[in-house]
Amino acid sequence: MHHLVVGEVFRGSEALRDAALTEYQLRRWYRPIFRDVYVPKHYEPPLSDRIVGAWLWSRRGAVVAGVAAAALHGAAWIDVDTPIELIGTNARPQRGLVVRDETLESDEITRVRRLPVTTVDRTAFDLGRHLPRGEAVARLDALMRVTPLSIGDVSSLAQRHKGARGLRNLSAALSLVDGGAASPTETWLRLLLLDAGLPKPTSQIPLVRGRRLVAVFDLGWEEYKVAAEYDGDYHRSDRRRFVKDIDKIGVAEDEGWIVIRVVSEHRTRAIVSRVYRALARRGWHPDRRQRAALSRFLELPSISA
């Protein structure tokens, strides 16, 4: 009979050393998720247990970093099987674990759920350096949404670590962060529109009729009364929310707004074209730089039409 509580993550060598399990029990009832780190055989560990397991694998010597640290700080939209990042001594690669041997000052470490974790600012510093731009901005948006993330403090870390890899990537990502984004798809849509040369949108725009809040737009341009909304999969599964959104669009149009609804099946050219034409109808005109960016998405005759 094994003695460990179901759901517990543990080091196999420690369980054997302490006589909590025999080798037979370890092989019979448990399975490894990292080298020498075990969970019950039929247990699918949540992200929090996988993070604990990665830290135990490091012999409790590493610091949780990157996307895993963002999750511990409360950021959403992180898959359970995301690789766990640690800052510590490099070791042989293994699936689901990324270990970075990097400089980490004592004031860049905090504790969350009794685990050593990079601070919010250091977490942002690492996300911006190590991830591709789109994913970095989405992760930073999510982190800013739930923490007092300071762009200035992250930039100060960049000054402290002048020789670190990815500082140019970090600078580009920080210039695009918007804690108002409520999902990675909203971040994606915002970046698409900016890359297309359209003016910078505002996120989470409230629409008030009288004293009543009737809608909040994902993105928009209040000056032109144009909004862009990303419709997720819930429109197929949550009928009440679907109907509510139809009513929201109706109220918005009554108030003089043009609302562009976007779904995953839409092509980027079509999205850019619809938003551009709506803004143009309301009096927006691209400057030379914006016109050059738009020409990558639209035919020039349609831009000047």
Collect contacts of 100-103 with beta carbons under 8 A, ≥24 apart.
Answer: 100/65, 100/126, 100/130, 102/164, 103/161, 103/164
* Residue finishing a domain among 122, 147, 174: 174
137 and 191 both lie in a single domain? no
Look up the CATH number of the domain holding residue 209: 3.40.960
Q: Is the pLDDT of residue 303 over 50?
A: no
User: Are the C-beta atoms of 155 and 174 separated by less than 8 Å?
Assistant: yes
Task: Identify whether 78 is part of a domain.
Answer: yes
Task: Identify whether 30 is part of a domain.
Answer: no
Q: pLDDT of 237-277, one tens digit each?
A: 677 777 777 778 888 999 999 999 999 899 999 999 999 99
Of 10-14, 137-141, 240-244, the range with the lowest mean pLDDT is 240-244
Q: Is the pLDDT of residue 162 over 70?
A: yes
* Residue finishing a domain among 141, 174, 207: 174
84 and 169 both lie in a single domain? yes
118 and 227 both lie in a single domain? no
The residue-averaged pLDDT of 275-281 equals 97
The residue-averaged pLDDT of 226-232 equals 91
> What pLDDT was estimated at residue 249?
85
56 and 164 both lie in a single domain? yes
> What pLDDT was estimated at residue 276?
97
Residue in 268, 126, 257 with CA at minimum distance from that of residue 191: 268
Q: Is the pLDDT of residue 62 over 80?
A: yes
56 and 144 both lie in a single domain? yes
The residue-averaged pLDDT of 275-303 equals 88
Task: Identify whether 285 is part of a domain.
Answer: yes
H/E element holding 16? helix 12-17
Task: Identify whether 191 is part of a domain.
Answer: yes
> What pLDDT was estimated at residue 236?
60
146 and 190 both lie in a single domain? no
Q: Is the pLDDT higher at 211 or at 240?
A: 211
Percent of the chain with pLDDT over 90: 84
> What pLDDT was estimated at residue 2?
45
Angle, CA of 93, 12 and 90, to the nearest 5°: 25
> What pLDDT was estimated at residue 302?
45
CA–CA dist 298, 286 (Å, integer): 13
Q: Is the pLDDT of residue 132 over 50?
A: yes
202 and 299 both lie in a single domain? yes
Q: Is the pLDDT of residue 91 over 90?
A: no
95 and 120 both lie in a single domain? yes
Q: Is the pLDDT of residue 301 over 70?
A: no
Residue in 174, 185, 225, 182 with CA at minimum distance from that of residue 203: 182
> What pLDDT was estimated at residue 305?
36
* Residue finishing a domain among 174, 192, 226: 174
298 and 207 both lie in a single domain? yes
Task: Identify whether 204 is part of a domain.
Answer: yes
Task: Identify whether 21 is part of a domain.
Answer: no
202 and 154 both lie in a single domain? no
Q: What is the C-alpha end-to-end distance of the chain, expressed in Å?
A: 78
Task: Identify whether 31 is part of a domain.
Answer: no
CA–CA dist 250, 248 (Å, integer): 5
Question: Structure tokens of 172?
Answer: 């580009």
Q: How confident is the model at residue 1 (pLDDT cuts 50, 70, 90)?
A: very low
CA–CA dist 60, 116 (Å, integer): 9
> What pLDDT was estimated at residue 7?
53
pTM of the shown model: 0.91
The residue-averaged pLDDT of 67-93 equals 95
Domain hosting 289: range is: 184-304
Q: pLDDT of 19-52, one tens digit each?
A: 999 999 999 999 999 999 999 999 999 999 999 9
If one counts the domains in the chain, the total is 2
> What pLDDT was estimated at residue 278?
98
Average pLDDT, rounded, for the chain:
92
Task: Identify whether 8 is part of a domain.
Answer: no
